[in-house]
């Protein structure tokens, strides 16, 4: 892609929750060897939303620093990707648009395809900017992953939002053509409308993910993509960080590309640091991987990064990005590390109470206790309407 035509990620910011449950606490409660979590799945803790936090408050918290830095004059579209939507009709992004005071001359829409949604949003954003290079698109991925208490998925829960400003002449990462795409109708993970927790066939979901990696890569190659050896690092969707290693080894084996553990660690290591502490943030997870890579790795100027986005059900996409010279001056490393470090440790009983909480569906007045110290909160439900406010 020539410099003149470059379109991509101009800014990136993430937010997570008020609370954190460590895997040491979970292991002590469930009588599990903590090494299964720390080593077996590669997770150390999970972000837990306070009673007054949800995908909207996290999304607004992630996007606010982007608006503060760049203004909203060029943003004509907001796309919020989530698989933990708060309303069947109204787009969660409209609440975010209101909290951030964005102009009324904006289109706002919500996108869903499990953990893949943010990548669709990013690609659609690139398309919109191609049509008019003066415009920018605010892409937000925000999710809270919840499984049944005591289920194998419980240890892979988490929550976060990533906001990305997409535009021409980006400061961070240029998104390249081509993309490799893959769709297969499988029931590996899903959440029917009447359930608050996801259903999953754990082992089936791992094989479906690996099949999708192969399928997306095959299409990427057929579209004339790069060779595996050309990439400095790979950002995979990380339902748990060990999955990135499984996926990457599968890809390299499929390509007949021999790599030792050192090379694999070099390609993936920096991408897993935030996800290991935050847990599965579903559609935000691949881009939390990118945030960690940009924040933690040595200079990546001019390097190619591979992205593998997977959403159960299933859709996958492989594409490449190139890191822009000077990108380090635009990073938010300190704020990102603070977002993780500031979370308050909670015990199992508190986590369980938050997990089991649900709003009455009677249309009454249900205020929510003040808990979050983040910039936005959900004040309550009133007449079936969600009420949000700056804190």
Determine if 149 is a binding residue for ligand CAA (CB under 6 A). Answer: no
Determine if 200 is a binding residue for ligand CAA (CB under 6 A). Answer: yes
**CB 345 to ligand CAA: min, Å:** 22
Determine if 206 is a binding residue for ligand CAA (CB under 6 A). Answer: yes
Determine if 116 is a binding residue for ligand CAA (CB under 6 A). Answer: no
Shortest CA distance to 318 belongs to which of 256, 255, 275? 255
Which of residues 27, 41, 199, 255 is near ligand CAA by CB under 6 A? 41
Instruction: State the number of binding residues for ligand CAA (CB under 6 A).
Output: 26
Determine if 281 is a binding residue for ligand CAA (CB under 6 A). Answer: no
Provide the 3-class DSSP secondary structure of residue 192.
coil
DSSP-derived pairing of the beta strands 376-382 and 365-367 = antiparallel
178 cis-preceded (ω within 30 degrees of 0):
yes
CA distance 274 to 336: 9
Which of residues 156, 271, 275, 286 is near ligand CAA by CB under 6 A? 156
Count of positions (residues) in the chain: 391
Determine if 243 is a binding residue for ligand CAA (CB under 6 A). Answer: yes
Q: Which stretch binds ligand CAA (CB under 6 A): 61-69, 200-208, 260-268, 353-361?
A: 200-208
Catalytic residue among 97, 110, 115, 270: 115
Determine if 189 is a binding residue for ligand CAA (CB under 6 A). Answer: yes
CA distance 92 to 86: 7
Which of residues 71, 152, 302, 326 is near ligand CAA by CB under 6 A? 152
Q: Bridge partners of 189?
A: 200
**CB 203 to ligand CAA: min, Å:** 6
- Determine contact, residues 133/73, Cβ cutoff 8 Å: no
Torsion, Cα of 313, 140, 172, 291 (10° steps): -70
Determine if 36 is a binding residue for ligand CAA (CB under 6 A). Answer: yes
Provide the 3-class DSSP secondary structure of residue 97.
helix
- Determine contact, residues 254/219, Cβ cutoff 8 Å: no
83 is catalytic: yes
Determine if 279 is a binding residue for ligand CAA (CB under 6 A). Answer: no
Shortest CA distance to 49 belongs to which of 285, 357, 387? 357
Catalytic residue among 10, 97, 237, 248: 237
- Per the listing, tokens 């499988």 go with 186
Residue nearest to ligand CAA (CB): 40
237 is catalytic: yes
- When the beta carbons of 200 and 292 are compared against ligand CAA, the nearer one is 200
Run of H or E residues at 382: strand 376-382
- Determine contact, residues 54/90, Cβ cutoff 8 Å: no
Which of residues 14, 234, 282, 376 is near ligand CAA by CB under 6 A? 282
Which of residues 205, 271, 272, 275 is near ligand CAA by CB under 6 A? 205
CA diameter of the chain: 61
Determine if 35 is a binding residue for ligand CAA (CB under 6 A). Answer: yes
- Determine contact, residues 58/142, Cβ cutoff 8 Å: yes
Q: Which two tokens stand for residue 277?
A: 């502490």
Which of residues 209, 234, 274, 376 is near ligand CAA by CB under 6 A? 209
Q: Active-site positions?
A: 83, 115, 237
Give me the residues that bind ligand CAA (CB under 6 A), please: 33, 35-36, 39-41, 115, 152-153, 155-156, 188-189, 200, 202, 205-206, 209, 237, 239-240, 243, 280, 282, 310, 312
């Amino acid at each position: 892609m020539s410099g003149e035509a470059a379109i991509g990620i101009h800014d990136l910011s993430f937010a997570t929750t008020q609370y954190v449950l460590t895997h040491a606490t979970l292991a002590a409660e469930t009588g599990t060897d903590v090494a299964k979590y720390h080593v077996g799945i590669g997770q150390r803790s999970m972000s837990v939303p306070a009673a007054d936090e949800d995908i909207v408050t996290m999304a607004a918290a992630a996007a606010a620093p982007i608006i503060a830095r760049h203004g909203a004059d060029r943003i004509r579209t907001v796309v919020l990707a989530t698989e933990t939507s708060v309303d069947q009709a109204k787009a969660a992004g409209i609440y975010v648009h209101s909290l951030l005071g964005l102009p009324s001359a904006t289109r706002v829409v919500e996108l869903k395809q499990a953990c893949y949604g943010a990548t669709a949003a990013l690609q659609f954003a690139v398309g919109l900017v191609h049509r008019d290079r003066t415009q920018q698109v605010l892409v937000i991925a925000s999710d809270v992953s919840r499984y049944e208490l005591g289920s194998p998925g419980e240890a892979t829960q988490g929550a976060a939002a990533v906001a990305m400003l997409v535009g021409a002449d980006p400061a961070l990462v240029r998104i390249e053509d081509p993309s490799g795409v893959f769709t297969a109708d499988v029931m590996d993970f899903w959440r029917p409308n009447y359930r608050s927790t996801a259903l999953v066939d754990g082992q089936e979901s791992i094989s479906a993910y690996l099949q999708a990696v192969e399928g997306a890569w095959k299409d990427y190659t057929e579209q004339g993509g790069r060779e595996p050896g050309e990439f400095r690092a790979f950002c995979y969707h990380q339902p748990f960080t060990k999955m990135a290693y499984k996926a990457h080894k599968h890809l390299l084996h499929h390509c007949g590309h021999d790599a030792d553990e050192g090379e694999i660690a070099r390609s993936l290591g920096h991408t897993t640091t935030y996800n290991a502490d935050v847990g599965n943030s579903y559609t935000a997870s691949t881009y939390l991987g990118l945030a960690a890579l940009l924040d933690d790795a040595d200079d990546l100027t001019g390097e190619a990064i591979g992205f593998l986005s997977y959403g159960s059900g299933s859709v996958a996409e492989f594409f490449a990005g190139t890191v822009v010279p000077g990108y380090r001056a635009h990073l938010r490393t300190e704020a990102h590390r603070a977002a993780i470090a500031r979370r308050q440790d909670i015990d199992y009983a508190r986590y369980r109470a938050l997990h089991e909480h649900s709003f009455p569906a009677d249309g009454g007045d249900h205020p929510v206790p003040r808990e979050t110290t983040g910039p936005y909160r959900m004040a309550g439900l009133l007449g079936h309407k969600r009420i949000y406010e700056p804190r």
